[in-house]
Amino acid sequence: MSGLILNNWYLREEVHSLFKQPTKFTPGAGHWGSSGIVTIRDTDGDYAFFITYGSSQSGHSFDEYISDDGILNWQSQPQQKLSDPQIQTLIHHDEIKNNIYLFIREEEGKEEPYEYLGRLKYISHDKNKENPVYFKWQLIDIGTYEPSKKPQAEKKLGELKLSNKKPKSKEIKPPSGAFKSRSSIDFIERESKKRDLGLIGEELVIKYETQYLKSINRDDLAEKIVHVSVIEGDGAGYDIKSFDEHGNEKFIEVKTTRGGINTDFFMSPNELLFAQVKPNNYFLYRVYNLDKNNYGEVFTLSGKDIEEEYNLVSTNYRLSKK
């Protein structure tokens, strides 16, 4: 086959080379350089899927995720219809005869590698949706999805730019019954739980708060900023204790994404409760568009504005025996 190793990280050019394609690889161009669906060899049945969390194309934002039992919820290219030959080939995919190889990453950028998660088996597609077409695939080579940690070089802390933008309102659409998952972990939830990304965002906010207080000659308050989530853990209901120009306490919860301003995020019941108890002193700092050099943008909301600006969507239930 190709010499691919499960859970290893590969650049597109490396995958192209491993499959010994006769075509020339051009970064950022052509099917191998840019497409999410790439035909392998000269057949119509073997493909490589390249997925980047949070990506968009032709005005469509992809919402793709893997459930904890290894089910990939995947969308085709936005221009594709159910009648398209390639879509029909995917619908009739037979994993015994052909292979679909999955490569996935969580960060935009031409230099970011993909993690290889093995081969896919067709499960179903939504017969009522197209442009794009919605599929479900089973990961064959692993029983559950457990992402490996990509080795990263140590990076310097970047900067945050305060934004006066706010997320755009959007219609909340319930998922189709055919695609409802009993227990799913999408990339947004995984990102919100990734401690390394969360810590980067918190450290950037501490840097931002420190610079602000020093700029107004409140070095005394800058020295009192506390990284609460590191000292006390996640149970406090906020991540950072800072101060305003008058010395009043600010309880800051940081939510960080490498995605855009409209990327959804998760808050725990404890965090929401603390925001309700301290509405005038609680602040949500939403860090977004964080690039690979850890430069990003941030907007803020007070505790009293969170539920006015956002829909709270329940995603988990606790079951207690009757």
Predicted confidence (pLDDT) at residue 158 exceeds the cutoff of 70: yes
DSSP symbol at 22: S
**What is the reported pLDDT for 91?**
94
Domains of the chain: 9-151 (2.30.280), 152-322 (no CATH)
Average pLDDT, stretch 32-59? Answer: 80
Q: Where are the beta strands (DSSP E) in 12-83?
A: 37-39, 47-52, 56-57, 60-61, 65-67, 71-75
Predicted confidence (pLDDT) at residue 143 exceeds the cutoff of 60: no
232-252: per-residue pLDDT in tens? 666 678 999 999 999 999 999
**What is the reported pLDDT for 159?**
87
Q: Give the SS3 label for residue 312.
A: coil
Q: Output the six-digit token pair for 161.
A: 């730019």
Q: Which of 53-67, 89-103, 296-310 has the lowest mean pLDDT?
A: 53-67
**What is the reported pLDDT for 53?**
79
Q: Among all chains, which residue has been given the structure tokens 């207690």?
A: 320
- Please tell me the distance from the alpha carbon of residue 295 to that of residue 204, in angstroms, as a whole number: 9
**What is the reported pLDDT for 77?**
86
Average pLDDT, stretch 115-125? Answer: 92
More confident residue, 4 or 180: 4
- Please tell me the distance from the alpha carbon of residue 193 to that of residue 177, in angstroms, as a whole number: 27
Burial 95-126 (b: 16+ CB within 10 A, else e): eeebbbbbbbbbbbeeebbbbbbbbbbbeebb
162-220: per-residue pLDDT in tens? 887 777 765 444 444 333 333 344 444 554 446 778 899 999 999 999 999 999 999 99
- Most confident by average pLDDT, 149-153, 156-160, 225-229, 317-321: 225-229
Q: Output the six-digit token pair for 318.
A: 């606790």
Average pLDDT, stretch 9-24? Answer: 84
Q: Are 157 and 294 in contact (CB under 8 A)?
A: yes
Average pLDDT, stretch 62-87? Answer: 87
Predicted confidence (pLDDT) at residue 65 exceeds the cutoff of 80: yes
Question: Which residue in 234, 241, 244, 225 sits closest to 198, CA to CA?
Answer: 234
**What is the reported pLDDT for 247?**
95
Q: Output the six-digit token pair for 243.
A: 């101060």
- Most confident by average pLDDT, 113-122, 163-172, 264-273: 113-122
Q: Are 226 and 240 in contact (CB under 8 A)?
A: yes
More confident residue, 321 or 33: 33
Band (pLDDT 50/70/90 cuts) for residue 107 is low
Residue 12 one-letter amino acid: R
Average pLDDT, stretch 259-280? Answer: 84
**What is the reported pLDDT for 218?**
95
Predicted confidence (pLDDT) at residue 155 exceeds the cutoff of 60: no
Percent of the chain residues past pLDDT 90, beyond the cut:
31
Band (pLDDT 50/70/90 cuts) for residue 316 is low
- Please tell me the distance from the alpha carbon of residue 211 to that of residue 15, in angstroms, as a whole number: 44
Mean pLDDT value across the chain? 80
Stated as kind and residue range, the H or E segment containing 9 is strand 9-10
Residue 134 one-letter amino acid: Y
Residue 177 one-letter amino acid: G
Residue 227 φ then ψ, to 5°: -85, 85
- 305: Cα within 13 Å, side-chain hemisphere: 12
Average pLDDT, stretch 8-28? Answer: 83
**What is the reported pLDDT for 183?**
38
Cis peptide before 167 (omega within 30 of 0): no
Residue 251 one-letter amino acid: F
Q: Are 239 and 228 in contact (CB under 8 A)?
A: yes
- Please tell me the distance from the alpha carbon of residue 45 to that of residue 39, in angstroms, as a whole number: 8
- Categorise residue 131: left if φ over 0, alpha if ψ from -120 to 50, beta otherwise: left
